[in-house]
C-alpha cells in the first residue's frame, strides 16, 4: 500500500498567482474595500449573468444581508432545509426572522419541495435553497411556491440547470468563498441579483458613507481578498474539471465493490463526493479510512431539527445517519487520489 501524509477532508488550492496578486495589493497600500472588490463583483456578474453583486465578509453575512434586502424582519417566517450547516439558521435569526425547517430528499439531501409547500404559511417571507454538495436542487418547484427564493450557491458556484447557472433562478443568490469552498478568498461571500435588491445589501454592509440613518453593519470584503478571488474565479473551470475527474475515479472503484454515490444531477459540480450507507457501515468506513490516514466526514455536522428539538424530518434524519463524504478537492495529488481509491476498494463489506 502506498504511503502518504494524512489526507484532510478538505483543503484549498492556492498558487503563486494568488500570492503575487495579494502581494501587489499590499504593496499598493490600498488594502480595504475598493476598486478590486468592485472588480471581483463585476467578474462574478459577468461569469454568471447577474445584473449586480455585492461582496461581503462571509457567506453568512451574504445570507443575512440578502434576507434584510428582501424585507425579512421580526415575525417573518423563512423556510430553510433541516439538512444544512447552521449558518442558514443563524442568518434568519440575525435578521429577526422565524426559521421554519423543511425536510429534504433522503437520497440527495436537497430540499423537498412538497414538504416546503406544507410549511408555507401567510407569514412566509422567503425560502433559502442550498444546492447541497454542488448538486442542483429542485429550484423550479420551490420557486413555484410563490415566495421570494434565495439560492444558496455556497457549495455550487459553477453548477447549472439546463445550461443556466445556479443562482439566476431565484430572487437573489449568495456565494461563500470560505477556505474550503469551491473557490476561496479565505473568508468571503457575495449577494447577487437584481440591482434594486443588491443595492440594499450593499448599503447595509457598511456603516459610513450612507444617506440612510437605519442600522447597518460592517461586513465588507478587502481588496486583498478580492484580488485572490479574481484569480480563483479564473481557475474555476479547471477546478471543476479536476473535481469531475476525481469523481469518475471514485465512481469506478465504488462500482467495483457494488456501490454508487448519491444520484448525480446534470450540470452539478462535485463539491462533495457523498456515499449513502447503512449507519453502522458508514461508521465502520469512517474509522477504517481514518486508520489509513484519510479523513472522511458527515457532510452535514448535525441537522438543524436536532438543535431545536423538533421531530418530523425523516429525510434529513436518514441523510444524516447514512451519508459519508469522501475527500475530493483539486488540491489532492494523483498519489493521494490513488491512495483514497485503494482504501475505498478495501471497504467491501461481506454482507452489504
Ligand atoms: C459554507 C456555507 C455557508 C456559510 O458560508 P460562510 O462563508 O462560511 O459564512 C452557507 N451555506 C452553505 C450551504 C454553506 O456551505
Reported as a single tens digit per residue, the pLDDT across 146-176 is 999 999 999 999 999 999 999 999 999 999 9
Distance of CA 223 from the midpoint of ligand 1 (Å): 21
Answer left, alpha or beta for residue 205, where phi above 0 means left and psi between -120 and 50 means alpha.
alpha
Pair 261, 108: CB distance under 8 Å: no
pLDDT digits (tens, 9 = 90+) for 7-28: 999 999 999 999 999 999 999 9
Pair 289, 339: CB distance under 8 Å: no
Counting ligand 1 atoms within 8 A of each CB, the residue from 56, 110, 155, 183 with the most, and so the one to mutate, is: 155
Judged against a pLDDT cut of 80, whether residue 350 lies above it is answered with no
Distance of CA 128 from the midpoint of ligand 1 (Å): 12
Q: What is the position in ligand 1's atom list of the atom closest to the CA of 130? A: 13
Distance of CA 256 from the midpoint of ligand 1 (Å): 34
pLDDT digits (tens, 9 = 90+) for 324-345: 999 999 999 999 999 999 999 9
Distance of CA 183 from the midpoint of ligand 1 (Å): 12
Q: How far apart are CA 69 and CA 203, in angstroms?
A: 10
Spatial CA neighbour of 84 closest among 319, 329, 283: 319
Output the pLDDT for position 3: 64
Cell of 229: 478571488
Measure Cα distances from 101 to 26, 104, 304 in Å: 44, 10, 8
Across all residues in the chain, what is the average pLDDT? 96
Judged against a pLDDT cut of 80, whether residue 2 lies above it is answered with no
pLDDT digits (tens, 9 = 90+) for 59-118: 999 999 999 999 999 999 999 999 999 999 999 999 999 999 999 999 999 999 999 999
Give the CA count within 13 Å in the CB-facing half-sphere of 92.
24
Counting ligand 1 atoms within 8 A of each CB, the residue from 56, 152, 185 with the most, and so the one to mutate, is: 152
Cβ of 129 less than 6 Å from ligand 1: no
Counting ligand 1 atoms within 8 A of each CB, the residue from 176, 190, 220 with the most, and so the one to mutate, is: 176
Q: Report H helices in the chain.
A: 16-28, 35-48, 59-69, 87-94, 113-119, 139-143, 195-204, 223-234, 236-256, 279-291, 304-307, 314-322, 334-345
Output the pLDDT for position 271: 98
What average pLDDT score do residues 189-207 get? 96
Output the pLDDT for position 348: 85
Output the pLDDT for position 210: 74
pLDDT digits (tens, 9 = 90+) for 256-309: 999 999 999 999 999 999 999 999 999 999 999 999 999 999 999 999 999 989
Closest CA to ligand 1's atom 7: 59
Helix axes 334-345, 236-256, angle to 10 degrees: 30
Pair 204, 68: CB distance under 8 Å: yes
Closest CA to ligand 1's atom 3: 59
Proportion of the chain in helix, strand, coil states, percent, rounded to 5: 40, 15, 45
Q: How far apart are CA 127 and CA 146, in angstroms?
A: 10
Output the pLDDT for position 209: 73
Cβ of 176 less than 6 Å from ligand 1: yes
Distance of CA 55 from the midpoint of ligand 1 (Å): 14
Cβ of 130 less than 6 Å from ligand 1: yes
Pair 232, 97: CB distance under 8 Å: no
Q: pLDDT class for 1, splitting at 50, 70, 90?
A: very low
Cβ of 126 less than 6 Å from ligand 1: no
Distance of CA 181 from the midpoint of ligand 1 (Å): 8
Output the pLDDT for position 349: 74
Cβ of 59 less than 6 Å from ligand 1: yes
Amino acid at each position: 500500500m502506498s504511503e502518504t501524509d494524512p489526507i484532510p477532508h478538505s483543503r484549498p488550492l492556492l498558487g503563486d498567482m494568488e500570492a503575487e496578486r495579494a502581494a501587489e495589493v499590499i504593496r499598493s497600500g490600498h488594502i480595504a474595500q475598493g476598486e478590486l472588490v468592485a472588480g471581483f463583483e463585476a467578474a462574478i456578474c459577468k461569469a454568471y449573468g447577474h445584473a449586480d453583486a455585492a461582496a461581503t465578509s462571509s457567506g453568512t453575512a451574504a445570507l443575512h444581508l440578502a434576507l434584510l434586502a428582501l424585507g425579512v424582519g421580526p415575525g417573518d417566517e423563512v423556510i430553510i432545509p433541516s439538512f444544512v450547516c447552521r449558518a442558514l439558521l443563524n442568518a434568519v435569526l440575525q435578521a429577526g426572522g422565524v426559521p421554519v425547517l423543511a425536510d429534504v430528499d433522503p437520497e440527495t439531501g436537497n430540499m423537498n419541495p412538497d414538504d416546503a409547500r406544507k410549511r408555507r404559511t401567510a407569514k412566509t417571507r422567503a425560502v433559502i435553497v442550498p444546492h447541497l454538495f454542488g448538486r442542483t436542487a429542485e429550484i423550479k418547484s420551490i420557486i413555484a411556491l410563490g415566495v421570494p427564493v434565495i439560492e444558496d450557491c455556497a457549495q455550487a458556484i459553477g453548477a447549472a440547470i439546463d445550461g443556466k447557472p445556479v443562482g439566476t433562478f431565484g430572487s437573489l443568490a449568495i456565494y461563500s468563498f470560505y477556505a474550503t469552498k469551491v473557490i476561496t478568498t479565505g473568508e468571503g461571500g457575495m449577494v447577487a441579483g437584481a440591482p434594486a435588491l443588491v443595492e440594499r445589501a450593499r448599503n447595509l454592509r457598511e456603516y459610513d458613507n450612507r444617506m440612510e440613518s437605519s442600522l447597518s453593519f460592517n461586513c465588507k470584503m478587502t481588496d486583498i481578498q478580492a484580488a485572490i478571488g479574481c484569480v480563483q474565479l479564473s481557475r474555476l473551470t479547471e477546478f471543476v474539471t479536476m473535481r469531475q475527474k476525481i469523481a469518475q475515479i471514485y465512481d469506478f472503484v465504488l462500482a467495483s465493490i457494488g456501490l454508487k454515490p448519491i444520484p448525480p444531477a446534470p450540470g452539478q459540480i462535485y463539491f462533495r463526493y457523498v456515499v449513502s450507507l447503512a449507519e453502522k457501515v458508514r461508521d465502520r468506513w469512517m474509522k477504517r479510512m481514518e486508520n489509513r490516514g484519510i479523513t472522511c466526514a458527515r457532510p452535514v455536522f448535525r441537522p438543524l431539527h436536532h438543535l431545536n428539538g423538533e421531530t418530523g424530518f425523516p429525510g434529513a434524519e436518514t441523510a444524516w445517519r447514512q451519508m459519508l463524504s469522501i475527500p475530493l478537492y483539486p488540491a489532492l495529488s494523483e498519489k493521494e487520489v490513488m491512495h483514497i481509491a485503494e482504501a475505498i476498494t478495501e471497504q467491501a463489506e461481506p454482507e452489504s
